[in-house]
Amino acid sequence: MESTQIYSKPFIGDQFPEMTVHTTLGDLVLPTSYQGHWFVLFSHPGDFTPVCTTEFVAFQKLMPEFTKLNTYLIGLSVEQVYSHIKWIEWIQQNLKVEITFPIIADSLGRVATRLGMIHPTMGTRTVRSVYIVDPTGKIRLMLTYPENVGRNINEIIRAVQALQTADKNKAATPANWPENELVGDRLIVPAPTTIQEAKKRAEQAQSGEIECYDWWLCTKPLHDR
């Protein structure tokens, strides 16, 4: 009897599970095919559905913004590649938008199941999951939307920008960055974990290198986005 391998859903900080997938643009090996690049993998409940169609158009129209961030897009639903191709043709013919990013054909639901994109009560329809993966293949952010709420693509772009900026500056981004209500586009300095670090933080604040509300809440200017 063939044994069924049971996987646990990956989480933030885990390596994206290695898998070969068939897409509308040919086979890909994830995450290896995108080594050195960021990628956003997003699932949609089904082809030829209204909300998903608006999302694909929005993703495509904002694709130049993802390209500026060295980020690729990949769609996925539990359907055959033929359905994806006909849907792409319909979008181009009727909405005058050419979908140029690959869509994974996952007719048996293996990829979606491996990534925890299928709710137990939804049959084979995937929820609106988003995985943001960095150039090393590590999962950096996960979002999940219900079937009846379309995604905010600008927020996904902002999330990629925030992750990249935090990495480059060894800092954190505040709420609503880069338009935070308290500090604008400034970045949050990691809180000190020792008395020595807290003293150094006070010295940095005195010199004007950073600004602090208190020893544990300090910010610094954005130098490299």
What are the residue numbers of the active site?
A: 52
Q: Classify residue 207 as exposed, middle or buried by CB count within 10 Å of its CB (0-12, 13-18, 19+).
A: exposed
Residue 138, amino acid:
K
73 sits in which H/E element: strand 71-77
Residue 42 per-residue DSSP state: E
Contacts of 1 (CB under 8 A, 6+ apart): none
Using left for φ > 0, alpha for ψ between -120 and 50, and beta otherwise, residue 82 falls in: alpha
Handedness of CA 217, 219, 224, 225 (dihedral sign): positive
What is the SS3 assignment for 221?
coil
CA–CA distance, 143 with 129 (Å, rounded to integer) = 6
Residue 149 per-residue DSSP state: S
83 sits in which H/E element: helix 81-95
Whether 183 and 177 have beta carbons less than 8 Å apart is answered as: no
Residue 195, amino acid:
I
